Amino acid sequence: MGTNQSHGTAWNGRLVRWYLAGSLFSVPQAAGPIAFALLALPLTGSAESGAAIVLAMTLAQVAGAVPVARWGRAFNIVSYFRLLVAIRTAALLGVAGLAASGAPFAALLGMAALAGLVNGAAFGYQRSVVNHLVAAGGMPRALGIAATLSETTFVAAPVLASVLGTVDAVFALLVLTLLGGLPALLMPMVAQARAPAQPEGHRGRLMRRSTVMWLGATLANSAVVSSIEVGAVALAMRYGMAPAMGFVFTVALCAASVAGGVWVSVRNRPPQRGRVAALMAAMALGSALVALQLPVPATVAAVVLVGCCMAPLSTAYSLLLDEVAAAHEKAELFALQRTMNAVGIIVTSATLSAGSLALTQWVAVAVMAGMAAVVAVAAWMGRRGPG
């Protein structure tokens, strides 16, 4: 990891800059659904067209995550991260400029896709930097704090997008884009930090059984969480509540996730596979209770159960992927982890659009329960994961 590690100190200056860079990095993604809906409305007459911009970014992220991350192997990881953030920022500024000039909507989609193309790889390099700032013993705490701050961003950014959007949709996107570009300035430089060369004879297979298991678990996490977040309005309407009351479920989810992140940070323990399987089972149970259409208080409690598992599990997956990844492929695997999170959202959104809320929730339950069983079997067999 080098000589720049903080040996577990959670609040040294360089690490604080990494925390801030990581939390602000997520602003465009967190605010995107609202910001793009407000941007699309005057252009197409439909706020739903904003979802097409989000989809273009997400599909491009899935396509670009590994190749864009792989291209950065020869560069300093912080310098390459800054370059990718600069490209994303320029592309999003381009989206705002095209919208302001009344350009065809297809042009906005193309520019948004460019922003998405580098987004997954940029996250992979952002996550890789902390390996050079924190000793192994302090990694759970550092990632727990980062998860808490990231969840706070996902709560605050949509609110900021809504407030700024009342002034002007293009102005809102400009401000959010600039906030999302600050990580390029905030990320501390780590001299000589770059991915080592691929060893001779190494086949370069990212998708080994061990990595597939934790990437699959990441997808399952995302499917469960997004079944609540994407389905929040439908969930409120299922109980005869006003559509705007969907925030009750998302706020409960996010607040519980923040609490889970604090617990991880205070505990600061490396993940044990048996405990990870138990948390996954608890998340599957919470999701099943939501799907059972219990009374509102019980459903909110089930959402809280899901939320409490979010940060511990996402932190565990990140640490376990770090553990099984070869040194030269860490950024690519972290980019894939971000991409699997996006794929989980795509699966949920597609199921909700084509089917129903109930079907979406039970699909999420099945995916998480299946992955929990896989991890439990791996833990029972006393292996470091299959492979």
Confidence at residue 198, expressed as pLDDT on a 0 to 100 scale: 61
Whole-prediction pTM: 0.81
Confidence at residue 215, expressed as pLDDT on a 0 to 100 scale: 93
- How many helices (DSSP H) and strands (DSSP E) are in the chain? 15, 0
| In-domain check, residue 367 | yes
Confidence at residue 204, expressed as pLDDT on a 0 to 100 scale: 57
| In-domain check, residue 5 | no
Residue 38 token pair: 């407000």
| In-domain check, residue 200 | no
Q: Are 156 and 248 found together in one domain?
A: no
Rg, C-alpha atoms of the chain: 20
| In-domain check, residue 204 | no
| In-domain check, residue 142 | no
Ranges of the chain with pLDDT below 50: 1-3, 6-8, 384-387
How far is 81 from 69, CA to CA, in rounded Å?
A: 10
Q: How many other C-beta atoms can be found within 10 angstroms of the C-beta atom of residue 204?
A: 11
Confidence at residue 254, expressed as pLDDT on a 0 to 100 scale: 84
Domain of 128?
A: 13-137+152-186
Confidence at residue 7, expressed as pLDDT on a 0 to 100 scale: 44
How many domains are there within the chain?
A: 2
| In-domain check, residue 39 | yes
Q: Are 125 and 239 found together in one domain?
A: no
How far is 259 from 242, CA to CA, in rounded Å?
A: 28
Q: Are 171 and 223 found together in one domain?
A: no
| In-domain check, residue 6 | no
DSSP string, 308-340: HHHHHHHHHHHHHHHHHS-GGGHHHHHHHHHHH
Confidence at residue 135, expressed as pLDDT on a 0 to 100 scale: 85
Confidence at residue 205, expressed as pLDDT on a 0 to 100 scale: 61
Residue 156 bridge partners (DSSP): none
Tokens 């400009």, residue located:
174
Q: Are 157 and 264 found together in one domain?
A: no
* CATH number of the domain that residue 168 is part of: 1.20.1250.20
Q: Are 166 and 112 found together in one domain?
A: yes
Q: Are 157 and 251 found together in one domain?
A: no
Q: Are 300 and 225 found together in one domain?
A: yes
Sign of CA dihedral 16, 139, 252, 363: positive
Q: Are 37 and 86 found together in one domain?
A: yes
| In-domain check, residue 199 | no
User: 211 φ, ψ to 5°?
Assistant: -70, -35
Q: Is 207 helix (H, G, I), strand (E, B) or coil?
A: coil
